[in-house]
Structure 1
């Protein structure tokens, strides 16, 4: 039988790993992959896509503002946290929040979320999430009459991945992170049991490559009770992003739901 101390320790480790506290996200059943280019007809669609980069099928979740034609919309990638999935953005209420933002005057855009793992970087083992984002996702979007990604937003582990994606794609118009799971040292990163070795982590860690990030299109959000607060403050100090918000909140869904309207406005205004 597990002791109370063991249960508490397990809960703390889950928090620090950057996992979402939400259960598996709901959403519509996957629909068939289109045989020819066709724009999404519903504000939310989920399709199961075979991906060569990770060597498995992944969910592609597309979210567009309700009442706005989807064809030709600019796209923001959405990268989830560790232990979560693409459908997590549905649990967080992104469809309604995106529609509300557009109705309030934010230029319309689409959000594309896909399933990913191990901090959205190649740590060996034949799974390369960055290659999926760069080489496969644009084709999936084109087949739905959407533009290639021109922005990226990530939560926790997804924040790490978003910054890694931004380094390789300096032409992005907006990069936003919420509670980005960044690491101040190799011992911190090694404790996640994700990276192959120190060299693998050093090649990917955003805090070691801040000179490759562009401040004008970067927005950083983090709660003041978040275990990654110090690392995110270091990022903001090094890059001087266009937006740096450190407000009350922890590493949990409630905080992310609270800042999402501001994040969506930040992204939409830069995509216009």
Structure 2
């Protein structure tokens, strides 16, 4: 028979285990969208924004260089990979990379990460991440004294979304992808169980629309052990981007952390 002391100890351990399992995501806790937004005062802010285009609330994660006033900064969108979220860029250390780049001479800019899904395109239903990026995000940024997006960066699935966004926004000054998840064939794309059908994939797939991408604004990074290496090489061959880097690494955080400083510098120099 358990003593009262042992029973209480066991309950306390169970409670601690439950708290650990529900550990909050990186970064500050999200706050509701303010009724009168202003330029961010902190290098990192997280706000929940109602997106009519996506039919749900999303995190808007704003990252600015430490010690630099946010008002009036140009903005690069950051699109995460499959299974991740906007806060993933905090886990990857993007705020520190951005601050270090600016202190080393890169012109300052802000990075805005959003929550997305299904390769950042409309694949059926009413969820349309591209419409959120095009129609809603500019207003969210200008309300905070930031400029509308003039660059986009994406990792993996986010690389697919960034290239899709670039196709309809030729005015972008910089487009960067790391380990872009691209598909050379419909069977390969179909295996992801994301696209509604082949026509949906063909319409969205960047590899099928290389003429709609501007070489001078594009930078492509991919690891030499990445499963998407062949597809990314195909993109480089078709578009001839200004920058292409294939170096040792896989489809993982270690590789992305390694190339982030180069990507941030690439974006910042073009936004200046």
Tell me, what secondary structure is at the counterpart of 2:31? coil
Q: Is 1:154 the counterpart of 2:158 in the alignment?
A: no
Tell me, what secondary structure is at the counterpart of 2:62? strand
Distance 1:191 1:116, change over 3 A: same
The offset of 1:24, in angstroms, is 7.6
Tell me, what secondary structure is at the counterpart of 2:182? coil
Residue deviations 1:29-67, cap 9 Å, x none? 112322224100000000001110110000000000000
Aligned counterparts of 1:122 and 1:69: Cα–Cα separation in 2: 36
Residue 101 of structure 2 corresponds to: 101
Tell me, what secondary structure is at the counterpart of 1:47? strand
Tell me, what secondary structure is at the counterpart of 1:61? strand
Aligned counterparts of 1:34 and 1:143: Cα–Cα separation in 2: 10
The offset of 1:146, in angstroms, is 0.4
Tell me, what secondary structure is at the counterpart of 2:269? helix
Residue segments in structure 2 that go unaligned for 5+ positions in a row = 1-22
Aligned counterparts of 1:218 and 1:228: Cα–Cα separation in 2: 18
Residue 122 of structure 2 corresponds to: 122
Tell me, what secondary structure is at the counterpart of 1:46? strand
Residue 189 of structure 1 corresponds to: 189
Question: Highest CA radius of gyration, 1 or 2?
Answer: 2
Residue deviations 1:140-181, cap 9 Å, x none? 101111000000000000000000000010000000000000
Residue 57 of structure 1 corresponds to: 57
Residue 250 of structure 1 corresponds to: 250
Residue 3 of structure 1 corresponds to: none
Residue 38 of structure 2 corresponds to: 38
Tell me, what secondary structure is at the counterpart of 2:67? coil
| Aligned positions of 1:136-151 closer than 5 A | 136-151=136-151
CA contact (8 A) 1:24 1:87 kept: no
Distance 1:34 1:176, change over 3 A: same
Residue 179 of structure 1 corresponds to: 179
Aligned counterparts of 2:36 and 2:54: Cα–Cα separation in 1: 24
Tell me, what secondary structure is at the counterpart of 1:107? coil
Aligned counterparts of 2:223 and 2:30: Cα–Cα separation in 1: 34
Residue 225 of structure 2 corresponds to: 225
Residue deviations 1:102-148, cap 9 Å, x none? 00000000000000000000001110000000000001101111000
Aligned counterparts of 1:24 and 1:163: Cα–Cα separation in 2: 31
The offset of 1:199, in angstroms, is 0.2
| TM-score, with length taken from structure 1 | 0.91
Aligned counterparts of 2:92 and 2:29: Cα–Cα separation in 1: 18
| TM-score, with length taken from structure 2 | 0.91
Aligned counterparts of 1:139 and 1:34: Cα–Cα separation in 2: 13
Residue 6 of structure 2 corresponds to: none
CA contact (8 A) 2:176 2:267 kept: yes
CA contact (8 A) 2:217 2:242 kept: yes
Distance 1:121 1:225, change over 3 A: same
Residue segments in structure 1 that go unaligned for 5+ positions in a row = 1-22
